[in-house]
A and B are shown apart, each in its own frame.
Chain A
Amino acid sequence: GAVVSQHPSRVICKSGTSVKIECRSLDFQATTMFWYRQFPKKSLMLMATSNEGSKATYEQGVEKDKFLINHASLTLSTLTVTSAHPEDSSFYICSALPGPGRQTQYFGPGTRLLVL
């Protein structure tokens, strides 16, 4: 089956620093990847959609300068939380779509970010 990995699985950082989270599709090429965040006991909230080689499309209310997304290859997308603050602490999850017209998303295991 399709496998998506995320690194790191958890990170603790000081307020004001930037944190990069990697999302990789291990056994397939992902033309589209998605980034979600999830607060405790809440559902997933889509942050942005990224297509390989083009700029990400952000959902309403998500600051693109705060959450930098790069999808430089068909197997890797990165989310950088810039100048992180405690309110950015959350569970960040990526997912990948195997190809155009394919419907099934495959999700990564998530990255738990704690900003002190």
Chain B
Amino acid sequence: DAKTTQPPSMDCAEGRAANLPCNHSTISGNEYVYWYRQIHSQGPQYIIHGLKNNETNEMASLIITEDRKSSTLILPHATLRDTAVYYCIVRVEGTNAGKSTFGDGTTLTVKP
């Protein structure tokens, strides 16, 4: 699976959009981009995933660059409860699809 690079930490004001970047320059054509987050002392929570098109769900939006070498997770109106470690993961489909390699992630702190 391709390696990802994320900034170690970011701050965001409550109510503002949080934009979390992820670099995955060695991503292969059949690898998806996944985002999870982990609130302190809990298991990771699935947020969103995509292959090459931008995606949106009730939690967030995922913007993937045309060359697919980077992506941005957008939380449109961050709340204090969005404070967590956010992990960007890339992996292929198939029998090993679930074998995710978690990097260090980005610690997002939403401030009042």
Contacts and interface: CB of A to CB of B under 8 A. Distances in A.
Interface class of chain A by DSSP: strand
Interface stretch (B11-19, B21-29, B41-49, B68-76): B41-49
Interface residues of A, number: 26
Contact of B97 (A6, A45, A91, A102): A102
Interface size, B (range): 20 to 34
B104 A105 contact: no
Contacts, number: 61
B28 to A, nearest CB: 14
15 contacts: A4-B43, A34-B99, A36-B102, A43-B104, A45-B102, A46-B101, A49-B98, A49-B99, A93-B43, A95-B44, A101-B93, A103-B34, A107-B36, A108-B43, A110-B41
Interface of B: 32, 34, 36, 38, 41-46, 49, 87, 91, 93-95, 97-105
